[in-house]
Chain A
């Protein structure tokens, strides 16, 4: 195949690629507020917690009495949420709890690099506890910060709002395969008191 390709391209001049285009961050933007607005517009729920104690207070009623599967992200552990990972548990769970390695403010996106794939995917409700300092302003900021996702993990997922489809008569339906409910808890101060 490569021989055919080279023949097809015979006579092409070797040139360097166009430069990478990444926009710089806009000045003075409130990342958390932008994120909350963007995700809320997509049907997600966003809570802001000043510290871990507040975060725990928000999470407890959401998780009480539910089948929960959680990742072992430090921030999730710090909120006192633990569970044993198994495929079966993921498939059975009502709620999956993870953190996020980053978030993108202007689109309301969660970025998973070091989180397990299925926890934020199989259960119908997904709760993400994130560090406010990890909220980046734009997609460009993400790719500036993470120029090579493959170096960090086999899977980087950008998740923007609840799973959706409009395949039946163009009617919007949430929660097709991925979670239909997204709840994000933004923690301002992630240090343990």
Chain B
């Protein structure tokens, strides 16, 4: 249940410090590098407009993308469901006799539980992003979209890597690097996600800092990229705008260390690269979100994590308090919209509280590089949420009282009571803070006395 997880996070001082300072650093980084872009506001509006246009013409762009990928020698698989995507990968692996697969960080593959599926079919799937590798070894899920192992201390990392407990981050990294190097070179398939799909090029774009996405997409003979259909952008040249925004918003870098623009398998005359390239286009509930005019913009997300880093709620409750793979503000608006799809797959979500676990402070919308109106969507989700009978009655009463000033003025009797029974909302308030002292007279009573 969410509350126990939330309370656990709040009661853990080390975790509180780790989450608050990590997100704070990422936020500071963003602020500094965004200041280098005098046209930042115009850029994010432009990025928003491109996403809006692309999604409103998604069928056309996906068709163009497919044509372009095929023209470059790649294959396109349309996966309506998680099962279809997973089945494609396992069937291909079995067909090619592949027992070892390397993966670079992909929230999309987390969504479809790909690793679990591969393992059930006897295929070893190794996460190669350092943070993801660490949590894979400890049997956990990613804590934060950009920093999967944010919640782990170096001692905990040393434990999963079977290293000395006082090993430095440098030493721990070197251990992981050596182990994973072998995997990259031995694996039969490399699986990545995609940050962007470029319609006019038949290309995918991978953005990273470590080099594991480059290795996963270049060393094995087969490269499979799995991506949600909403990642498509019209033109290669549009990347100038998105790349300027992505790394700055995510980590405070002008550009991530590696940006790979990959179009199909290696070509005749090229020295290295995969011999086969497959692009899996995943629906998995996205077309339902697309159908909702008001909330369609939830699909503009470029997965930068800025909203997480600025959310005062995320910074307190951390990634594990959220029921789905996407946490933070974007998780709050996506999860309820994907709930139906996920429930059909047998997921037991408990997501109805999500849209309400926000103070509507608006920090998320302010930093979103593609200007998703997250607070607005939260309000809409609240509106659409089924309401408890008591709350409906309370609101009806509230609205009636507020339309009848003479009745409203009778609140002075409640004020005169001074000591109020501690129940419901009052009890909740008092669990964390004191109540203000109620004044002897209301403003309107004071005003009458002035005259």
- Which residues of A are at the interface with B, using a C-beta cutoff of 8 A? 1-2, 4-9, 12, 14-15, 17-18, 20-22, 71, 85, 87, 91, 106-107, 109, 116-118, 121-122, 139-140, 142-144, 147-150, 153-171, 173, 175-179
30 A–B pairs (Cβ distance < 8 Å), ordered by A: A5-B58, A5-B229, A9-B290, A9-B291, A17-B235, A18-B49, A18-B50, A21-B240, A71-B271, A85-B271, A87-B219, A109-B255, A116-B271, A121-B214, A143-B240, A148-B236, A149-B263, A154-B72, A154-B265, A154-B267, A157-B260, A160-B253, A160-B254, A163-B257, A164-B210, A167-B149, A168-B173, A169-B153, A170-B21, A171-B154
Asked if residues A170 and B147 are in contact (CB atoms below 8 Å), the reply is yes
Choose among B46, B56, B218 the residue that contacts A9 (Cβ–Cβ < 8 A): B56
Report A172 CB to chain B, min CB distance, Å. 9
In the assembled complex, the Cα of A183 lies from the Cα of B397 at a distance in Å of 72
Asked if residues B257 and A160 are in contact (CB atoms below 8 Å), the reply is yes
Closest to A90 in B: B272
Asked if residues B53 and A153 are in contact (CB atoms below 8 Å), the reply is no
Closest to A124 in B: B177
**In the complex, B80 has a CB within 8 A of chain A:** yes
Contacts of B177 in A (CB 8 A): 175-177
Closest to A169 in B: B154
Between A2, A22, A150, A163, the greatest number of chain B beta carbons within 10 A of the residue's beta carbon is seen for A150
Asked if residues B211 and A170 are in contact (CB atoms below 8 Å), the reply is no
**In the complex, B25 has a CB within 8 A of chain A:** yes
Asked if residues A8 and B254 are in contact (CB atoms below 8 Å), the reply is no
**In the complex, B130 has a CB within 8 A of chain A:** yes
Asked if residues A177 and B128 are in contact (CB atoms below 8 Å), the reply is yes
Contact count A vs B, C-beta below 8 Å:
228
Known: A6-B59, A14-B57, A159-B257. A169 touches B169 (CB 8 A): yes
Between A118, A154, A159, the greatest number of chain B beta carbons within 10 A of the residue's beta carbon is seen for A154
Asked if residues B209 and A165 are in contact (CB atoms below 8 Å), the reply is yes
Contacts of B339 in A (CB 8 A): none
Contacts of B181 in A (CB 8 A): 91, 122, 177
**In the complex, B234 has a CB within 8 A of chain A:** yes
Besides A22-B237, A148-B201, 14 other A-B contacts (C-beta < 8 A): A4-B283, A5-B290, A17-B54, A20-B235, A71-B271, A107-B255, A143-B236, A143-B240, A158-B260, A159-B257, A164-B210, A166-B147, A169-B153, A169-B169
Asked if residues A17 and B258 are in contact (CB atoms below 8 Å), the reply is no
Contacts of B262 in A (CB 8 A): 154-155
Contacts of B202 in A (CB 8 A): 150
Contacts of A157 in B (CB 8 A): 214, 258-261
Asked if residues A148 and B264 are in contact (CB atoms below 8 Å), the reply is no
Contacts of B263 in A (CB 8 A): 149-150, 153-155
Closest to B256 in A: A160
Asked if residues B130 and A20 are in contact (CB atoms below 8 Å), the reply is no
Asked if residues A20 and B185 are in contact (CB atoms below 8 Å), the reply is no
In the assembled complex, the Cα of A171 lies from the Cα of B134 at a distance in Å of 15
Contacts of A178 in B (CB 8 A): 210-211, 214-215, 257-258
Choose among A9, A147, A166 the residue that contacts B236 (Cβ–Cβ < 8 A): A147
**In the complex, B239 has a CB within 8 A of chain A:** yes
Contacts of A107 in B (CB 8 A): 254-255
Closest to B43 in A: A21
In the assembled complex, the Cα of A6 lies from the Cα of B57 at a distance in Å of 9
Contacts of A20 in B (CB 8 A): 235, 237-238
Contacts of A142 in B (CB 8 A): 240
Contacts of A164 in B (CB 8 A): 209-210, 257
Closest to B158 in A: A168
Question: Which residues, 75 to 116 on B, are CB-close (under 8 Å) to A?
Answer: 78, 80
Asked if residues B50 and A177 are in contact (CB atoms below 8 Å), the reply is no
Asked if residues A1 and B287 are in contact (CB atoms below 8 Å), the reply is yes
Question: Which residues, 197 to 220 on B, are CB-close (under 8 Å) to A?
Answer: 198, 200-203, 209-212, 214-215, 218-219
Contacts of A9 in B (CB 8 A): 56-59, 290-291
Contacts of A5 in B (CB 8 A): 58-59, 62, 229, 287, 290
Contacts of A14 in B (CB 8 A): 57
Known: A8-B287, A109-B255, A155-B218. A173 touches B237 (CB 8 A): no
Closest to B243 in A: A139
Asked if residues A168 and B203 are in contact (CB atoms below 8 Å), the reply is no
**In the complex, B332 has a CB within 8 A of chain A:** no
- The contact string, 1 if C-beta is below 8 Å from chain A, for chain B 112-136, is 0000000000000000111100100
